[in-house]
A and B are shown apart, each in its own frame.
Chain A
Amino acid sequence: MFTLAIRRDDWSLHRKGAIDQARHMEKVKEAIKRNLADIVSEQSIVTADGKRLVRIPIRVLEEYRFRFDPEAGRQVGQGTGETKVGDVVGRSGRRGDRGMGPQAGDEPGIDYYEAELTIDELGELIFEDLALPNLEPKRLRELQSETVRFTDIRKHGPFANLDKRRTLRENLRRNARRGWPRIGDFANEDLRFKTWERDVKHESNAVVIAMMDVSGSMGTFEKYVARAFYYWMVRFLRTKYDRVEIRFIAHHAEAKEVSEEEFFTRGESGGTRASTAYELTLRMIRERYPPDSWNIYPFHFSDGDNWPSDNERCRELVEELLACVNLFGYGEIRQGRYAYQSTLMHTLQRIGHPKLVTVTISDKTDVYHALRRFFGPELEQEVARA
Chain B
Amino acid sequence: MREMTPSLVRELERRIERIWDIGQQLGLRPLPVHFEIVPATVMYEIGAYGLPGRFSHWTHGKAYQVQKTLYDYGLSKIYELVINGNPCYAFLLETNTLLQNTLVAAHVMAHADFFAKNAYFAETRRDMLDIAALHAERIEQYEFTHGKLEVERLLDAVLAIQEHVDPSATEAAGPPPAPQVSRASSPYDDLWRLDQRPGGQQGPEESLARRTSLTPNEPVRDLLWFIHEYSPVLDDWERDVVAIVRAEMLYFLPQIRTKVLNEGWATLWHARILHELDLPLDEHIEFARLHAAVLQPAGRRINPYLLGWELLCDIERRYGFETLFLVREVESDVSLVRNYLTEELVERLDLYLYERRGDEFVVVDKDWEAVRDRLTNELGGNHIPVIVVEDGDYAGNRELYLRHIWDGRPLDLPWAEKTLEHVYRLWGRRVWLETREPEGNESLVLSFHPREGHRRHS
Contact = CB atoms under 8 A, between A and B. Distances in A.
Interface in A37-75: 61-75
Interface in B342-376: 349-356, 359-366, 371, 374-375
B411 A69 contact: yes
Given A21-B64, A76-B374, A6 B362 contact: no
B58 A71 contact: no
Interface of A: 1-9, 11, 14, 16-25, 27, 61-92, 94, 110, 113
Interface string B386-415: 010000000000000000100011111101
A64 B413 contact: no
A66 B160 CA distance: 8
25 contacts: A4-B17, A8-B38, A14-B42, A16-B49, A17-B64, A17-B68, A64-B422, A66-B163, A66-B419, A67-B411, A67-B412, A68-B410, A68-B412, A76-B353, A77-B352, A77-B361, A78-B303, A79-B297, A80-B350, A83-B350, A85-B364, A85-B366, A88-B363, A89-B361, A90-B299
B37 interface: yes
Given A19-B61, A69-B438, A76-B302, 14 more contacts: A6-B92, A8-B38, A11-B42, A20-B61, A24-B62, A64-B419, A68-B383, A75-B355, A76-B371, A85-B352, A85-B366, A89-B300, A89-B354, A89-B363
Q: How large is the interface on B (under 10, 10 to 19, 20 to 34, 35 or more residues)?
A: 35 or more
A71 B34 contact: no
B13 interface: yes
Contacts of A16: 45, 49, 53, 56
Contacts of A87: 362-363
Contacts of B356: 71, 92
Given A7-B36, A68-B411, A88-B361, A20 B350 contact: no
Given A4-B20, A75-B378, A78-B297, A69 B362 contact: no
Nearest to B440: A72
B271 interface: no
B385 A2 contact: no
Contacts of B34: 3, 5, 7
Contacts of B409: 68-69, 72-73
Main SS at interface, chain B: mixed
A301 B303 CA distance: 58
B364 A74 contact: yes
A90 B361 contact: yes
A77 B353 contact: yes
B160 A65 contact: yes
B39 interface: yes
B168 interface: no
B56 A84 contact: no
B66 interface: yes
B65 interface: yes
B182 interface: no
Contact of B38 (A11, A61, A65): A11
Contacts of A78: 297-298, 300-303, 306-307, 349-352
Main secondary structure of the interface of A (DSSP, over half): loop
A95 to B, nearest CB: 10
Max chain A Cβ within 10 angstroms of own Cβ: one of B62, B306, B387? B62
B94 to A, nearest CB: 8
A74 B41 contact: no
A203 to B, nearest CB: 38
A288 B122 CA distance: 86
B438 A72 contact: yes
Nearest to B433: A66
Nearest to A9: B36
A64 B156 CA distance: 9
Contact of B35 (A5, A70, A110): A5
Given A16-B56, A66-B387, A91-B361, A74 B353 contact: yes
A20 B64 contact: yes
Contacts of A81: 350
A76 B42 contact: no
Closest 6 CB pairs of A and B: A20-B61, A17-B45, A24-B61, A64-B418, A21-B61, A79-B350
Interface string B25-38: 00000101111111
Interface in B1-35: 9, 12-13, 16-17, 20, 24, 30, 32-35
Contacts of B360: 88, 90-92
Contacts of A8: 9, 36-38, 94
Nearest to A73: B409
B411 A14 contact: no
Nearest to A4: B16
Interface in B110-140: none
Nearest to B61: A20
Nearest to A24: B61
Contact of B41 (A11, A92, A113): A11
Contacts of B94: 8
Nearest to A26: B58
Given A74-B374, A87-B362, A88-B362, A80 B297 contact: yes
The listed residue with most B CB atoms (<10 A of its CB), out of A8, A27, A62, A77, is A77
Nearest to A5: B34
B163 A89 contact: no
A67 B162 CA distance: 12
A7 B37 CA distance: 6
A92 B374 contact: no
Contacts of A9: 36, 38
Contacts of B13: 4, 6
A119 B223 CA distance: 45
B428 interface: no
B228 interface: no
B18 to A, nearest CB: 11
Given A68-B409, A83-B366, A63 B59 contact: yes
Contacts of B161: 65-66
A6 B37 contact: yes
Given A22-B61, A68-B383, A69-B410, A75 B374 contact: yes
Nearest to A109: B301
B204 interface: no
Given A78-B300, A80-B297, A66 B350 contact: no
Nearest to A70: B412
